[in-house]
Amino acid sequence: MTPPPQVLRLCRLGRVDYVDCWHAMRRFTDARTADTEDALWLVEHPPVFTQGQAGRPEHLLQPGDIPVVQTDRGGQVTYHGPGQLVAYVLVDLRRLKIGVRKLVAALEGAVIDLLAGFGVTAQARPDAPGVYVDGAKIASVGLRVRHGCSYHGIALNLDLDLTPFARINPCGHVGLPMTRLVDWVPATILAASDPGERLASVIAARLRLRLVSAGAHCAVLVASPSEIRGR
């Protein structure tokens, strides 16, 4: 009997439209079999507010010209934009023998480990998922489990413009301060590092999976079915 995959396939997708990426995650999850390798997609999105399944409209204050997408992850409203590193974690929870709470803890712990490597002390909060530095939120987490497998993931603020967060109550918390890694680490150091690779490595370590690059095959993942047929 073939042993189940024990790898986490890393895909760097670059800047991708949020809706296209979300639909691609659903397609990937719905097409999975017991032999499908787990995957980690690193992306950046154009400016967008995303509202979770439990999202309440009063937390959208003044979205203005930034689009709002009602999505199927957990949680309330958040903002994605250039300068934010988003890690989408598409793993078979049954195969890993963990539940969604342990996955959330693993993602939070991975970001805490990453920040510690930059000399930044961060914490998770039991009352509000995510990662915090000196009381300000630096990473937001939201997941969906479908057929025993996860998608969506965690978003880490690197050097993005934080002003759009003033148009919402971030994650449903009125007046929640937001921060970014460049506020704590010199921009020259951040620019010389590879936060995406480092985050992928610590996520894989937390999940006890071997990180493997997916190489040039990544782009097809977010193509629409019609685009795939045309290739």
- Residue stretches of the annotated binding site for substrate: 73-80, 140-142, 153-155
One-letter amino acid at 178 equals M
Q: How many helices (H) and strands (E) does the chain have?
A: 6, 11
Catalytic hit among 11, 21, 149, 171: 171
218 is catalytic: no
Q: At what angle do helices 100-117 and 195-207 cross, to 10 degrees?
A: 140
Give the CA-trace dihedral at 4, 8, 9, 12, to 10 degrees: 160
Q: Which tokens sit at 173?
A: 């918390």
Residue 19, token pair as written in the block: 């809706």
DSSP H helical ranges for 89-142 = 93-96, 100-117
89 has which bridge partners?
40
Indicate which residues carry an active-site annotation. Answer: 171
